[in-house]
A and B are shown apart, each in its own frame.
Chain A
């Protein structure tokens, strides 16, 4: 189905099942430990061998020699895979560094060997016996030191730099100016399930039970890396224990499991050891961002400029922190610039809202600072510079844009009017109290997506698509979509996901999974409805599918009857025309945060949080709300604790486990409120939905930062905002 004109009324609009807060259909499996994740497939693989990954102990250079003798002689060891014996390997289109290093080493903890043994304990013990001699080379590990060497790099298909009007002159002439530099650190996805795979070969056919967000990408890249036909690779990933972008791409667990299984002629299972993950896999790259804003005294922005510097391995991409500044606020004179320098740390890549999450951390502090310079309430300042058109291309409207409504609704709910704009004025015992706000912004992406739908003689509708559920609720919203379309209750729908033998979906990433995968299921259901109508002798345009029946006029036939002499199957997908060119499709929100800062120690506690979001039709308010509050939680981490600390001499992330890389825990997060504004976006898809999963993280950290400023009067522009950065400037508390 080609979606080329805005949606009109369709069966989804009945909203009997779509739009309702159903509990997850996979919930009982997940809460009882019965949902099978990648490493746990005892049901399909017996007697596997165990692989243990060895990572490089240098960041850059060469392996001079590996001595495998002691490890090979250790009890239970069946094979040791290295670049020496793995045969010719290619590299996935979406991998920057090789997944199996050697002799060349591109980054610290790049995998250099897999030790395969009969048991996990044997493999782990033998891995300790590898003797590796390295020849180290000099590398670049300090973004600030090399930022000057950065070069323009395109940004998610867009240009590296943009300009409109005359930024320099307008900024110079502006009566009120801000010129500030912000930094965001490297961050880790730190999903709870490590990257894990079981590989089994049947002749030249490989099956990988793995944990991956993008099944079709994974098939392509595994085939390319192994140099085998795509048709000979099957990926299965029905449950994914978190990804956040870290499982968009095939990683070393999958490749090494495949190589190990080939070497020992037996299935092999591999999970990346947690302390290896942070330097072995991808991370959100650090940024340095300079923001300049010029405004008239009435608060109208006349000039806005945003420059970004980030680093990556050669061939990698920039973080993209200027993306939202091209679209968020009005202003006739504008510029953005993206510079990418070469760094020899592990590969930087997408993490939840790549670009915008980092960009909003900086931009929304800058807006708060500018509002203070102007003496205007920061929410009013944002509303004053709201726009209904793409600021760089004013002829192009937003499909929907309720940024102002988000702020107004949130301000009322949160009690913003009680905020004292003068910092450091509110106390609660030893706590200095502040509240802050920030905009949330993330664009909506259209990606083609297909599905197969089958009706059987029991009236069960089965949906198959290679879409993944990474905690987002895909199983449930896909079931809701099919139930609504076919006029059956939710219990009559079976959803099967994450298998490359199913039609290719959008996959899970860039907050595009929900809208696109359900739109693909919609398309397949339209086709199945036509087949059913034809089979039962209805005019498909008139047939109504409801309550397990097909109806038209006085005639009603049980749906299952259409499959009485065998099942009916339909396959189709959604493809898009140029509605995303004609309209800027984005999602919006407003974050509100109250913090307490200990007047003696500068300990920061988040006390209240609220997000108000407008993101098209909300397909399931319960799971969508969870996406937002989860993203708010990750945003608190970004604000207050998350930082991969770079050892700039040896070239690696020092805090590479879950004790040292701190993420929010229960005690860090208060009760969270969130509101979705009523919205449908007929330009986005027949579902009229948009993404929500990444909107929720964009702006949160800045709202926390702005609240800390309001509490203390200390402005920190280097994330994360830890108490040591406040202490020097904390007001005297007597």
Chain B
């Protein structure tokens, strides 16, 4: 391993090596574990509840929750704010996006009791069918949705993205960290990529967001 040539990994070898290690870690473990799992230990101990108070769409809410309750389930199952969607429950799809203190967050990846005192905005807080937020109206105008299930998350993300850019927060595709971030097509698409739309309305969503931002898609 001392010869410099050993380090000249070709891109092919590098990729092959990566693939092999992925295959190893993905090997299935379908054997039945007999030792008590963490879940078993927790269940045996009984579930704990905690009180939590936060503000949702401007209204103060006080809940007593099983500490395992995600913010997403607190909204959907306890507050009946079902506009926030559960697509994967694993932070992989973005359907559960809400805005907390101006930042978007996957509400399935955070426990409700962690949000004491927080100010949470959900899709219901942005607008109503009678009085839509400009982003909601733009999604309707540009047909930026089909089945509608990812839509609240897309809209919450889109609203937050425009604020992120105004605040000068860079992204993976920002070319120059010393100049103000511009809302280019690449910036917009990169920043929205955590919100999957399986119906494939991306082109229309980009147009809706661009219109609200006041620039061509």
Scan A403-431; emit 1 where CB is below 8 A from any B CB, else 0. Answer: 00000000000000000000000000000
User: When A39-B86, A125-B47, A666-B205 are in contact, do A192 and B123 touch as well, CB less than 8 Å?
Assistant: no
User: When A125-B47, A471-B146 are in contact, do A70 and B129 touch as well, CB less than 8 Å?
Assistant: no
Residue A16 is within 8 A (CB to CB) of chain B in the complex:
no
Q: Are B189 and A626 in contact (CB under 8 A)?
A: no
Residue A652 is within 8 A (CB to CB) of chain B in the complex:
yes
Scan B55-96; emit 1 where CB is below 8 A from any A CB, else 0. Answer: 000000000001011000100110011111111111011010
Smallest CB gap from B80: residue in A: A42
Q: Which residues of A contact B160 (CB under 8 A)?
A: none
User: When A472-B146, A667-B190 are in contact, do A657 and B84 touch as well, CB less than 8 Å?
Assistant: no
The answer for the CA separation of A572 and B90 in the assembled complex, in Å, is 46
Other-chain residue from B66, B150, B152, B201 in contact with A119 (beta carbon distance below 8 A): B66
Min Cβ gap A476→B in Å is 10
For chain A, the count of residues having a C-beta within 8 Å of the partner chain is: 89
Q: Are B46 and A634 in contact (CB under 8 A)?
A: no
Chain B residues packing against A (C-beta within 8 Å): 11-12, 15, 19, 26, 28, 30, 32, 34, 37, 39-40, 42-43, 46-47, 66, 68-69, 73, 76-77, 80-90, 92-93, 95, 122-124, 126-130, 132, 136-137, 139-141, 143, 145-152, 155, 185-186, 188-190, 192-206, 217
Min Cβ gap A455→B in Å is 25
Q: Which residues of A contact B146 (CB under 8 A)?
A: 242, 471-473, 626-627, 630
Of the candidates B34, B42, B83, B146, the one having the most CB atoms from chain A within 10 angstroms of its own CB is: B146
Other-chain residue from B141, B143, B148, B152 in contact with A239 (beta carbon distance below 8 A): B148
Among A15-36, those with CB < 8 Å from B are 23-24, 26-36
The answer for the CA separation of A120 and B70 in the assembled complex, in Å, is 10
Of the candidates A192, A273, A275, A658, the one having the most CB atoms from chain B within 10 angstroms of its own CB is: A192
The answer for the CA separation of A57 and B150 in the assembled complex, in Å, is 30
Q: Which residues of B contact A313 (CB under 8 A)?
A: none
Question: Can you report 27 A-B residue pairs in the complex whose CB atoms are below 8 A from each other?
Answer: A27-B145, A29-B129, A31-B137, A31-B140, A33-B83, A33-B84, A33-B124, A40-B76, A57-B32, A128-B40, A128-B43, A129-B39, A192-B85, A194-B86, A241-B85, A274-B89, A600-B11, A626-B201, A627-B146, A629-B200, A629-B201, A630-B201, A658-B90, A666-B192, A667-B189, A671-B217, A727-B11
Q: Which residues of B contact A29 (CB under 8 A)?
A: 129, 148
Q: Which residues of B contact A30 (CB under 8 A)?
A: 145, 148, 151
Q: Are B43 and A75 in contact (CB under 8 A)?
A: yes
Smallest CB gap from A626: residue in B: B143
Q: Which residues of A contact B130 (CB under 8 A)?
A: 28
The answer for the CA separation of A274 and B92 in the assembled complex, in Å, is 10
Smallest CB gap from B124: residue in A: A33
Of the candidates A24, A122, A601, A658, the one having the most CB atoms from chain B within 10 angstroms of its own CB is: A658
Q: Are B200 and A632 in contact (CB under 8 A)?
A: yes
Min Cβ gap B43→A in Å is 5
User: When A32-B124, A74-B43 are in contact, do A40 and B87 touch as well, CB less than 8 Å?
Assistant: no
Q: Are A241 and B148 in contact (CB under 8 A)?
A: yes
Q: Are A191 and B47 in contact (CB under 8 A)?
A: no
Q: Which residues of B contact A626 (CB under 8 A)?
A: 143, 146, 199, 201, 204
Other-chain residue from A74, A120, A275, A471 in contact with B199 (beta carbon distance below 8 A): A471
Residue A445 is within 8 A (CB to CB) of chain B in the complex:
no
